Structures are given as structure tokens and as C-alpha cells.
Amino acid sequence: MDFVQQNIWLILLAVISGFMLFGGGLRGRLSGVKQIGPQEAVLLFNHDDALVLDVREPSEWADGHIAKARHIPLRQLKDKLGELEKYKDKPIIAVCRSGNRSSHACGVLKRAGFQNLHNLAGGMQAWEQAGLPKERK
């Protein structure tokens, strides 16, 4: 008990750090959105005919994107949900630069009734680091 009293700030710091490290993954699991890496995304795309939904801005899209990805900037997603209705029963992989905006996009899709949602953890940065190709069409 003396240890706890003497080191309460260190214990609180450790608890807060742990929550920050693992809280995002837990939040994703509770929300029904799976965080996946680039290799899992490739498998979903190739084997399960997943839709890759790129929610970056047009300038980011023009700099390079995943082949056959569908581009709808996050700010337009709510207005264009009707265009995605035919994908409601298919896996959707949301992509942005780092994984933050695509996580938000998954929330928008979840609230609209989409169920099979995946967020590319690390976004296009992780895709590029994995050495996977981009196209600029």
C-alpha cells in the first residue's frame, strides 16, 4: 500500500498511457468497425470484392490512390450515401491519409446502416510503407 501512495502519479500516468494506446482499438471493436492493415485490405479487395472508399481531399487523391478505389471526400459522404447503397452488404474499406478521417467515415456509414466496415489503420501512409502500388488516374 505504501508503494501505491508514494507512486500514485506514476500509476495514473501508466493507466492513462495504456488507455491512449489501446482505447482506440477497443472503441473500434465496440463500434463494429475493424481496423485492418494493408495486407488484410488487399485480401479483402481480392477475395471478398470489397469496396475501397477513399475519403481524402481531391488534391490528395490526385497524388495517388489505391487502384479501383471509389473517391468521395469525407465532407461529401453524408450527401452521397445513396451512391453506396449497392455496397451495403459488401465489405467496405475506408481509406484516408492516416486513418483518422476514414475512421470518422466508418462511423457515418455505420449510422447509415452499413455493417461490414473496415478502416485502413495508418491510411495511405501505411499502404505506401508496405510498398503497395498507387495509381494517378
- What is d(CA 72, CA 81) in angstroms, rounded to the nearest whole number? 10
96 annotated active-site: yes
Q: How far is CA 68 from the centre of its chain?
A: 17
Q: Which of 101, 93, 77 is nearest to 39 (CA)?
A: 93
Q: Which of 42, 96, 105, 124 is labelled catalytic?
A: 96
User: Which residues are catalytically annotated?
Assistant: 96
